[in-house]
Amino acid sequence: MSVLEIRVEGMGFWAPGWPDWNAARAGLRGEGQADPAVVKPSPTSLAAAERRRAPLPVLLACEIAAQACVASARAADALPSVFVSTHGDLVITDYMCSTLASAPRELSPIRFHNSVHNAPAGCWTIAAHCHAASTSISSWHASFAIALFEAAVQAIADDTPVLLSAYDAESPGPLAEVSPASTLFGVAMVIAPCAGSRPDLRLRLQPSSAGARLSPALPADFQALASTNPMAAQSLPLLAAIAAGAGGVIELAAGDQTTLGVELCA
């Protein structure tokens, strides 16, 4: 099988000004405005104490994951999950590397255990009481496409709905130059195998063609997100097409010479 057919059962979304997928979908269609009051994700799925002290990528990834679960009407405690980030938590990387350069013995144990790439997945599975498999991956600028592919492989291979949570947070200090990101952005999906029903998406990993299709133009607010957050840049072309509700094929970068063709089955 070289084509993976999946259904999208629910979406989650968070970016400054855009608190959920309904708002983002309207904005992507040019029908809604950003809400200036939306400045920080605050997932009610986390315990209050956890919500106060959790790093921003954890808050972001858990907020969008919870939204997608609710939208799909799937129980969060039963879903295997794929978490993906281009950069991981660069605020903690900046803290770790600064502290190591000055006072290595003063490293904070809490910040160390939150430094692992799977910290959001760990916090999510704890909050959701979920014992199912969870993975945390990165594929640099191909992260979104490859994670969508990996989630689809898992959904079809194990005949189960799968939660995908894709996010990037801000890049501080000296890291900003080599790993640029200056805003928060996250998108989540619960995807499922088709089981005989009509698919929403057909995924095909293929060599990049010279004449790759152009991405649809994004509204100005979303273009700004795409230019300031790598996960926004990687995912918004597909999200805009989903919001538009039309058919067609979107090509997402899936590596240097590889593209993920995503056919939207209108």
Contact footprint for another protein (CB under 8 A): 1-2, 4, 80, 85-88, 93, 96-98, 100-101, 104-105, 107-109, 112-119, 121-123, 125-126, 128-140, 142-143, 146-147, 149-150, 153-154, 156-158, 173-175, 177-179, 205-207, 254-258
Query: Residue 3 CB, nearest distance to another protein (Å)?
Result: 9
Give the C-alpha separation, 245 to 243, whole Å.
5
Q: Is the Cβ of residue 20 or residue 50 nearer to another protein in the bound state? A: 50
Q: Is the Cβ of residue 125 or residue 165 nearer to another protein in the bound state? A: 125
φ and ψ at 167, to 5 degrees?
-155, 155
Q: Is the Cβ of residue 37 or residue 49 nearer to another protein in the bound state? A: 49
Burial call 5-20: b when 16+ CB within 10 Å, e when fewer: bbbbbbbbbbbbbbbb
Give the C-alpha separation, 68 to 196, whole Å.
23
Query: Residue 73 CB, nearest distance to another protein (Å)?
Result: 21
Query: Residue 212 CB, nearest distance to another protein (Å)?
Result: 15
Q: Is the Cβ of residue 4 or residue 239 nearer to another protein in the bound state? A: 4
Q: Are 84 and 164 in contact (CB under 8 A)?
A: yes
Give the C-alpha separation, 229 to 180, whole Å.
7
Cβ burial, residue 124 (10 Å; 0-12/13-18/19+): buried
Q: Is the Cβ of residue 205 or residue 224 nearer to another protein in the bound state? A: 205
Residue 257 — left, alpha, or beta (φ > 0 → left; ψ -120 to 50 → alpha)? alpha
Query: Residue 157 CB, nearest distance to another protein (Å)?
Result: 4
How long a stretch of residues is the chain?
A: 266
Residue 95 — left, alpha, or beta (φ > 0 → left; ψ -120 to 50 → alpha)? alpha
Query: Residue 132 CB, nearest distance to another protein (Å)?
Result: 6
Query: Residue 39 CB, nearest distance to another protein (Å)?
Result: 26
Query: Residue 49 CB, nearest distance to another protein (Å)?
Result: 14
Q: Is the Cβ of residue 5 or residue 221 nearer to another protein in the bound state? A: 5
Q: Are 25 and 187 in contact (CB under 8 A)?
A: no
Q: Is the Cβ of residue 33 or residue 209 nearer to another protein in the bound state? A: 209
